[in-house]
């Protein structure tokens, strides 16, 4: 599907709607000549070339990819009007769309109807809201999360003045339920954050095992599914491409007290689209406030009344609405097919890595993030140095670059030839690849061959 075609159609429709309001004169202060506009635009697009090719499957580094063309067209169309989803005064159409997409996200997670939710401008703000609600419901209590949780939880707890407890992970990056049980013993923790898809390796915390623990201690469970939330679709497939434990824990999100998901990660959206959902619609009372400027056009719920943010782009809700209409939240089609291809890509690359003479696979991917490192002599420092050398050489290659990322792990997790390395340093940087484009499913053989070749040439250059 061509984005330009969709954008042209969308812009034409909005221009026709604008014309229906009658002619008026634009103020000359806004005028710029076509020549100057063209020149400035060229300077702008030339500046934009200073980017990595996030659209191309050779970019397999961070959690980055362009939005779906439908999202772009929908965003541009709404942006021409520029509705503000703070209040129905600011954007009735996109506010209604926001309620509809939030209902779809509710069903994605199996949360009850009614529940309370809204879009946010990011996963960080969505998590901030979830922690703020927890603070209001459990005043004076701490928030616990795993050592692999996103750093935003520590920072936002700081903003909210909440104490934190960091719970150790097991050997494969999951929150350790036994350690959690110990952390809850003294009754000081009011909320536990479980991560469904850690930022580092996409590990899904054992949510189904955490739930009985938090319930026993009367503690809230918040699930940060910013990255992995949409993969819950695949957990409903039978057979599923996901491992049994991953499925079980994704399905258990249905029993969480609050959930965050980022449509701007795996929902094919441009940045500026997170979401938070609360199982109990009653938490809406915590948001209660008055506004002397808005909330007048209707007695219906205004989204600003249940959100900490004020202005938010209505275009975000519009873009997600159109995208989900075209690629619905179905396990075996729509967005489900996109996610299945990403999981296939990761599993394929992991399988190739396990057979490689140059590269050593780390833990099998649970979602679509693969970690590995070059085979070196069995010292942590050697693995670290070789990983960084391959990362730089792959990115800097002029003819056939590959863009990976680096990820720091404790040296005790590193093995060469299946055996633990000598821990001559505490932490090691390894190679990490986020295969979040479905195109990666076809491109992985090339990625693998290329990274193997780069690792071989680096091995010949790096002193041992
Ligand atoms: C698990 C997790 N939580 C929270 C965040 C923060 O989200 P955002 O970057 O949208 O603020 C991220 C970002 O990568 C994430 O992976």
pLDDT band at 52 (very low <50, low <70, confident <90, very high): very high
Interval 407-434 mean pLDDT: 96
Instruction: Report pLDDT for 464.
Output: 52
Closest CA to 432 of 367, 381, 337, 355: 367
Q: Is the CB of 122 under 6 A from ligand 1?
A: yes
Instruction: Report pLDDT for 462.
Output: 59
DSSP codes, 27-53: PGGG---HHHHHHHHHHHHHHHTSS--
Give the Å distance between the CA of 96 and the centre of ligand 1. Answer: 26
Instruction: Report pLDDT for 299.
Output: 76
Please choose from 196, 198, 259, 262 the residue to mutate so as to test ligand 1's pocket, defined by most ligand atoms within 8 A of CB: 262
Q: Which residue has the tokens 């990983």?
A: 387
Instruction: Report pLDDT for 288.
Output: 86
Of ligand 1's listed atoms, the one at least distance from the Cα of 124 is 11
pLDDT digits (tens, 9 = 90+) for 221-236: 999 999 999 999 999 9
Q: Which residue has the tokens 């350790």?
A: 176
DSSP codes, 315-371: HHHHHHHHHHHHS-S-SSSHHHHHHHHHHHHHHHHHHHHHT-SSEEE-SPPSSSEEE
pLDDT band at 302 (very low <50, low <70, confident <90, very high): confident
Reply yes or no on whether the pLDDT at 446 is more than 70: yes
Give the Å distances, CA to CA, from 402 to 308, 314, 409: 40, 36, 22
Give the CB-side neighbour count of residue 266, counting CA atoms within 13 A: 36
Give the Å distance between the CA of 123 and the centre of ligand 1. Answer: 5
pLDDT digits (tens, 9 = 90+) for 152-200: 999 999 999 999 999 999 988 999 999 999 999 999 999 999 999 999 9
Give the Å distance between the CA of 23 and the centre of ligand 1. Answer: 45
Residue nearest atom 9 in ligand 1 by C-alpha distance: 123
Cis peptide leading into 239, omega within 30 of 0? yes
Interval 429-436 mean pLDDT: 98
pLDDT digits (tens, 9 = 90+) for 267-299: 999 999 999 999 999 999 999 888 877 777 777
Of ligand 1's listed atoms, the one at least distance from the Cα of 149 is 1
Q: Is the CB of 152 under 6 A from ligand 1?
A: yes
Give the Å distance between the CA of 246 and the centre of ligand 1. Answer: 20
Q: Which residue has the tokens 């000549």?
A: 33
Of ligand 1's listed atoms, the one at least distance from the Cα of 199 is 16
Whole-number Å distance between alpha carbons of 1 and 64: 20
> Reading across the β-sheet that carries 220-224, which strands appear in turn?
116-120, 274-278, 258-261, 220-224, 189-195, 142-146, 164-167
Q: Which residue has the tokens 């926001």?
A: 98
Residue nearest atom 10 in ligand 1 by C-alpha distance: 123
Reply yes or no on whether the pLDDT at 355 is more than 80: yes
Interval 376-389 mean pLDDT: 97
pTM of the model: 0.97
pLDDT band at 131 (very low <50, low <70, confident <90, very high): very high
Of ligand 1's listed atoms, the one at least distance from the Cα of 265 is 10
Give the Å distance between the CA of 136 and the centre of ligand 1. Answer: 23
Instruction: Report pLDDT for 293.
Output: 77
What are the phi and psi torsion angles at 194 (to 5°)? -105, 145
Tokens of 254: 């249905």
Interval 131-145 mean pLDDT: 98
Give the Å distance between the CA of 196 and the centre of ligand 1. Answer: 11
Q: Is the CB of 123 under 6 A from ligand 1?
A: yes
Which string of b and e fits 317-329 if b means at least 16 CB within 10 Å?
bbbbbbbbeebeb
Please report how the helices 92-109 and 314-326 are oriented relative to each other, as an axis angle in degrees rounded to 10.
50
Interval 377-403 mean pLDDT: 97
Compute the mean pLDDT over every residue in the chain, rounded to the nearest whole number. Answer: 96
Q: Is the CB of 202 under 6 A from ligand 1?
A: no
Q: Which domains does the chain have, with CATH numbers?
A: 80-289+298-326 (3.40.640.10), 334-461 (3.90.1150.170)
Q: Is the CB of 121 under 6 A from ligand 1?
A: no
Q: Give the contacts of 354 (CB within 8 A, at least 6 positions apart).
A: 361
Residue 379: beta bridge partners?
422
Give the Å distance between the CA of 261 and the centre of ligand 1. Answer: 9
Please report how the helices 3-19 and 69-81 are oriented relative to each other, as an axis angle in degrees rounded to 10.
20
Q: Is the CB of 226 under 6 A from ligand 1?
A: yes
Q: Is the CB of 150 under 6 A from ligand 1?
A: yes
Residue nearest atom 16 in ligand 1 by C-alpha distance: 199
Closest CA to 62 of 438, 404, 440, 441: 404
Residue nearest atom 14 in ligand 1 by C-alpha distance: 199
Q: How do strand 369-374 and strand 427-434 relate by DSSP bridges?
A: antiparallel
Instruction: Report pLDDT for 77.
Output: 98
Give the Å distance between the CA of 264 and the centre of ligand 1. Answer: 10
Reply yes or no on whether the pLDDT at 89 is more than 90: no
């Amino acid at each position: 599907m061509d984005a330009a075609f969709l954008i042209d159609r969308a812009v034409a429709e909005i221009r026709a709607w604008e014309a229906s309001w009658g002619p008026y004169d634009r103020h000359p202060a806004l005028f710029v000549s076509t020549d100057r506009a063209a020149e400035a635009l060229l300077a702008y697009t030339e500046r934009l070339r200073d980017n990595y090719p996030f659209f191309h499957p050779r970019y397999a580094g961070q959690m980055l990819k362009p939005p779906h063309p439908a999202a772009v067209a929908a965003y541009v169309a709404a942006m021409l009007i520029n509705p503000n989803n703070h209040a129905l005064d600011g954007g009735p159409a996109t506010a209604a769309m926001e309620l509809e997409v939030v209902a779809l996200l509710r069903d994605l997670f199996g949360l009850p109807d009614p529940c309370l939710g809204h879009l946010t401008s990011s996963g960080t703000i969505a998590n901030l809201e979830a922690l703020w609600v927890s603070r209001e419901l459990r005043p004076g209590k701490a928030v616990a999360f795993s050592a692999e949780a996103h750093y935003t939880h520590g920072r936002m707890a700081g903003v909210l003045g909440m104490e934190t407890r960091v719970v150790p992970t097991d050997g494969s990056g999951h929150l350790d339920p036994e350690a959690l049980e110990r952390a809850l013993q003294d009754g000081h923790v009011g909320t536990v954050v479980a991560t469904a898809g850690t930022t580092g390796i996409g590990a899904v915390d054992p949510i189904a095992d955490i739930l009985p623990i938090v319930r026993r201690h009367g503690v809230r469970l918040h699930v940060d599914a910013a990255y992995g939330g949409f993969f819950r679709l695949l957990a409903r497939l039978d057979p599923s491409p996901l491992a049994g434990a991953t499925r079980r824990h994704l399905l258990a999100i249905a029993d969480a007290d609050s959930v965050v998901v980022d449509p701007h990660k795996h929902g094919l959206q441009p940045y500026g689209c997170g979401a938070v959902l609360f199982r109990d619609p009653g938490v809406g009372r915590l948001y209660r406030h008055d506004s002397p400027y808005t909330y007048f056009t209707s007695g219906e719920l205004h989204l600003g009344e249940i959100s900490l943010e004020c202005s938010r782009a209505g275009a975000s809700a519009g873009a997600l609405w159109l995208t989900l209409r075209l690629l619905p939240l179905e396990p075996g089609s729509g967005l489900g097919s996109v996610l299945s291809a990403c999981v296939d890509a990761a599993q394929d690359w992991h399988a190739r890595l396990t057979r490689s003479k140059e590269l050593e696979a780390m833990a099998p991917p649970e979602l679509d993030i693969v970690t590995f490192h070059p085979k070196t002599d069995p010292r942590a420092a050697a693995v670290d140095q070789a990983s960084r050398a391959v990362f730089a050489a792959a990115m800097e290659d002029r003819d056939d670059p590959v863009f990976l990322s680096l990820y720091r792990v404790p040296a005790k997790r590193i093995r060469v030839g299946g055996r633990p390395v000598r821990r001559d340093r505490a932490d090691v940087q390894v190679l990490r690849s986020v295969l979040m484009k479905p195109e990666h499913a076809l491109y992985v053989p090339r990625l693998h061959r290329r990274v193997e070749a780069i690792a071989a040439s680096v091995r010949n250059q790096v002193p041992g």
